[in-house]
A and B are shown apart, each in its own frame.
Chain A
Amino acid sequence: SQQGEEDPQALSIQEGENATMNCSYKTSINNLQWYRQNSGRGLVHLILIRSNEREKHSGRLRVTLDTSKKSSSLLITASRAADTASYFCATDEGEADQGAQKLVFGQGTRLTINP
């Protein structure tokens, strides 16, 4: 079953604008992660936010987490053509055996940056 649900499914903006993607989930989590996937490639880990954190920054990325609403947002500032990719949120529910980190992924947001 899908834990994370991203919104919107697709987003197209002009280079230099900010892009915001949202993720909602259903159960309690240990952490929430965001990944990027370029076409035909594997996913790349961008940022992790723990359940006791509310906001986290990494370069041009800002992630927020609202556990009361079971939602997260990923903001990419000053977008570039190279940011064109699909972005996925993933939740770690912390129920795995022996400490494995079984992530549950959403269906992703396809972001297109137009030059």
Chain B
Amino acid sequence: DAGITQSPRHKVTETGTPVTLRCHQTENHRYMYWYRQDPGHGLRLIHYSYGVKDTDKGEVSDGYSVSRSKTEDFLLTLESATSSQTSVYFCAISIGTGAYSSNGYTFGSGTRLTVV
């Protein structure tokens, strides 16, 4: 997906270990988001950012933290991975806002994380 990359694409980790996923954008968009996608739940918002060092929680933020030290990078950390965090993680960016927005999200290709 043009302008947004996620790394790694796949990762297997052990329960209890910390894991960091990276989202990098070249679009200079202000807003960045982390979602997880699970069967039966669709996509659920974990955290989002509205600027450098400005982040907030989403619907399913427990067990996750984020950081954004530069406009282009948004990191998602699983502090101590659990099997329930096995999922596909998507990063997204957006420029629009609210009632006057004409733009949706641009998504990355996802990171498939397996916690064993």
Between A48, A94, A105, the greatest number of chain B beta carbons within 10 A of the residue's beta carbon is seen for A105
Does B56 belong to the interface (CB within 8 Å)?
Answer: yes
Residue of B48, B50, B99, B109 touching A42 (CB-CB under 8 A): B109
- A-B pairs with beta carbons under 8 A, tally: 92
Asked if B59 and A1 make an inter-chain contact with CB atoms under 8 angstroms apart, the answer reads yes
Does B52 belong to the interface (CB within 8 Å)?
Answer: no
- Measured between beta carbons, the chain B residues less than 8 angstroms from A106 are 42
Q: Mark B51-90, 1 if CB is under 8 A from A, else 0.
A: 1001010110000000000000000000000000000001
Q: How far is the CB of A47 from chain B (nearest CB, A)?
A: 8
Asked if B107 and A51 make an inter-chain contact with CB atoms under 8 angstroms apart, the answer reads no
Asked if B42 and A101 make an inter-chain contact with CB atoms under 8 angstroms apart, the answer reads no
Q: Mark B78-110, 1 if CB is under 8 A from A, else 0.
A: 000000000000101010111101111111111
Asked if A42 and B43 make an inter-chain contact with CB atoms under 8 angstroms apart, the answer reads no
Q: How large is the interface on B (under 10, 10 to 19, 20 to 34, 35 or more residues)?
A: 35 or more
- Measured between beta carbons, the chain A residues less than 8 angstroms from B103 are 45, 48
Interface-forming stretch among A27-35, A63-71, A76-84? A27-35
Q: How large is the interface on A (under 10, 10 to 19, 20 to 34, 35 or more residues)?
A: 20 to 34
Q: How far is the CB of B76 from chain A (nearest CB, A)?
A: 15
Asked if A103 and B105 make an inter-chain contact with CB atoms under 8 angstroms apart, the answer reads yes
- Measured between beta carbons, the chain B residues less than 8 angstroms from A33 are 104-105
Q: Knowing that A98-B51, A100-B50 are A-B contacts, what are 10 other residue pairs whose CB atoms are under 8 Å apart, sorted by A's residue number?
A: A31-B99, A42-B109, A48-B103, A90-B43, A101-B31, A101-B97, A101-B105, A105-B35, A105-B42, A107-B42
